[in-house]
Amino acid sequence: MRLGVDGRKIPEAAKRGPVASLDHGKQLGLDGLFFRTVLDMSPTLDGGYLRAIRQRADELDMYLETGLGKVNPYATPEAPELRQIGDGDIVLGFRRMMEACAAIDCRELWVGTANYKVAYVGRYAYDRFRTDVSWDEQLRATESFLRKLAPIARDLGIHINIETHEEITSFEVVRLVESVGPDVTGIVFDTANVLQRAEHPVWAAKRVAPYVRQTHVKDALVAYDGDILDFQMRPCGKGVVDFGAILPILAAARPELNLTIENYESFSDRPRRFARLVMEISDPDWLAAHPDLTAEEYAAYLDMVQRYRQRMQAEGMMDRPSWAAWAEQNFHYDEAVAYIEQSAAHIREVCAAQRLPLRAVAA
Amino acid sequence: MTGLVRGNVPGFGHDPRADLAATAGLGLSGLMFGSPFEISPGLDRDELAAFKADADALGLALGCGLGSLNVARPERVARIVDAGGGDLRAGLLRLLDAAALLGARTPYFYVGTIEDRLYAGLAWADQLAHVAAVLRELAPALRERGMSLLVKTHEEITSAEIVALIEAVGPDVLGVAFDPVNVVVRGEAPLPAARRLAPHVRQVHLDDCDIRWTGRGVRRVLCPMGEGVVDWPVLLASFAGAACWIDLHRGEFDMPLFEPEWQAHAPGLAVAELGFLAGAAARAETAGRHAGQASPAERLQPMLEWTREKLR
């Protein structure tokens, strides 16, 4: 395994561009960058530029991972670039992106099922709860679209890896992979997103492990406010995610897996209001929208939240509103770097303690 | 009809007639005894009839229980067996006749205790099968007498198990005494449990509770009526016509629902119902409600006010 960082969220990613961001990642002691989509690297799929990125990654002995885009036909209109790159034909657009990726030997490719809607707090931030089209219909449309991409992936030796994104459960991602075929699909396991679907990260890791081919390694605070739960990103080791339990599961399933830290984004890079994420964890309708969730996992999740509450008190951690107020004012370049370094240190510590095959920091 | 279980009568003591007078003094219309033995240890017909006459004179209806009917734990039914001269069925028939003399034609029982569910000597499902067998045998006698028994939602039994028991015995002779603060002890929420049991509910036990976090799950904390998690307006609307008995509980039960061992004894747990309990615990925590439960005596006055306001 190697430890890297998110190519879109590493501080100053847009300012520096992909090549210099690779150098930046190296300076931070990391072994790779995971650019969310190939269009992030080159919006025009410029083959020369993409080769230059690959060359720099190779020179620095870093992994280079990337992806495609949203594969839910109900969500793709929110990403018009996917259709534009196919001159109006979105399947052709995906083919061109996949060919461009294969040309630089990127064959594990991220995809997602929807966009998180930061404008809303609560269930409508998640397309799972769309009122115009049911989540089941979206999943069916997604599967159908993935089946259109499957032959292209097969030809190019590509895995289309579906992220455990905020709106989808790990149960559903596994079913998509098993239905479309694990020869052409896989999973990008985001260790914290599953929390937003009332899934215990360790339980989710066990479900997805056989198919995980890329990762977003991240951690989060999950804490009650009344009877809803708040979710807020935290450096790895400072939230509820038990990496000591998860990493051995992932390493056993795929020892060559790359671990990509997804950091909280600097407010200088992306000025914004602090977005509040909540889980309506006690609401019967919200829970009914998670039909795969078992009482045992739900109880384990509640246990995890209670233990974290005790830990927050014991360690005097900042609560959600305090951290939000602090971050909005103070979370810039230095803080984002510290966040990545703290996360990396925790992951390295866990791997060392358990003798997991994580490549050591290059000298 | 709103009555009071005897244990909640202020100054409850050894004289059942004094408890009758005290209950009438509270403006209530019934008094519930745990068993006819409390009125007449020998189940003497004249003694029971005289007591009924005294209750009638005060305008009070009498209710009664039969205690535990967990025949798989012989110690729970020893007194009934004694009353039958060594024969359980004979003892049960004497108790039924005693209850009828009191005008209590739907006596209620509880299956056992929370320890019975975990009893290593015999699996809980097997204990329930024994109870069902005894009740099935008793069914013809109940039909002859035009009586039925009510099984109480008690801390050891789930609402689904009660439904199965009723289906095994017959809904004409077995109904439900619904005690919603008890269903939470099995990880159930009162309204869904009520929906499962609704066709069979003949009697309702009035009390309220709140939920608190513990290190390993949640705890039931009894609280003044109307301040807890039981949605009584909805329940009462769905059980219009059922007899209501004020039954202020004492037990402060822990439900260690994070423990796999506890889950193993709780088949059929529903996510939404655990969510109900967790939500209540979380709201109590946020609101800073940390206190333990008030005693039954402290909760009687608010309960009486609540019944005067809501049940008239």
Contact B270, B192 (CB under 8 A): yes
Amino acid (one-letter) located at A213: R
Please list every residue in chain B whose beta carbon sits closer than 8 Å to the beta carbon of residue A295: 187, 263, 269-271, 274
Residue A353 has pLDDT above 60, yes or no: yes
Task: Specify the DSSP element, H or E, that contains A206.
Answer: helix A201-208
Query: What are the residue ranges spanned by the domains of chain A?
Result: 2-220+241-270+330-354
When CB atoms are compared, the residue of B269, B278, B280 closest to A302 is: B278
Q: Which residue of A has its CA nearest to B281?
A: A227
pLDDT one-digit tens code per residue, A102-121? 999 999 999 999 999 999 99
Amino acid (one-letter) located at B164: A
Task: Specify the DSSP element, H or E, that contains A152.
Answer: helix A135-156
When CB atoms are compared, the residue of A227, A294, A298 closest to B282 is: A227
pLDDT one-digit tens code per residue, A188-227? 999 999 999 999 999 999 999 999 999 999 999 999 999 9
Give the separation between CA B34 and CA B80, rounded to whole angstroms.
Answer: 13
Please list every residue in chain B whose beta carbon sits closer than 8 Å to the beta carbon of residue A306: 213, 215, 258
Closest CA to A19 of A72, A47, A59: A59
| pLDDT attached to residue A362 | 57
For B22-89, the DSSP string reads HHHHTT-SEEEES-GGGT-TT--HHHHHHHHHHHHHTT-EEEEEEEE--TTSGGGGHHHHHHTTT-HH
Q: Please state which of the ranges A86-100, A282-296, B6-20, B139-153 shows the lowest mean pLDDT.
A: B6-20
Average pLDDT of span A241-253:
98
Contact A293/B271, CB-based, under 8 Å?
A: yes
Chain B touched by A284 (CB under 8 Å): yes
When CB atoms are compared, the residue of A227, A287, A293 closest to B283 is: A227
Count Cβ–Cβ pairs < 8 Å, chain A vs chain B.
61
| pLDDT attached to residue B13 | 79
pLDDT one-digit tens code per residue, B87-106? 999 999 999 999 999 999 99
SS3 call for B15: coil
| pLDDT attached to residue A325 | 94
Residue A312 has pLDDT above 70, yes or no: yes
Q: Which of B229, B234, B269, B271 to mutate to test the interface with A (most CBs of A within 10 A)?
A: B271
Percent residues over pLDDT 70 in chain A: 99
Give the mean pLDDT per block of 10 residues along chain B (312 residues): 95 90 96 97 97 98 97 95 97 97 98 94 96 97 98 97 98 98 97 97 97 96 96 93 95 94 93 97 92 89 94 76
When CB atoms are compared, the residue of A225, A284, A298 closest to B286 is: A225
For A210-260, the DSSP string reads GGEEEEEB-EEEEEEETTEEEEEEE-TTSSS--HHHHHHHHHHH-TT-EEE
Q: Which CATH superfamily is domain A2-220+241-270+330-354 in?
A: Divalent-metal-dependent TIM barrel enzymes (3.20.20.150)
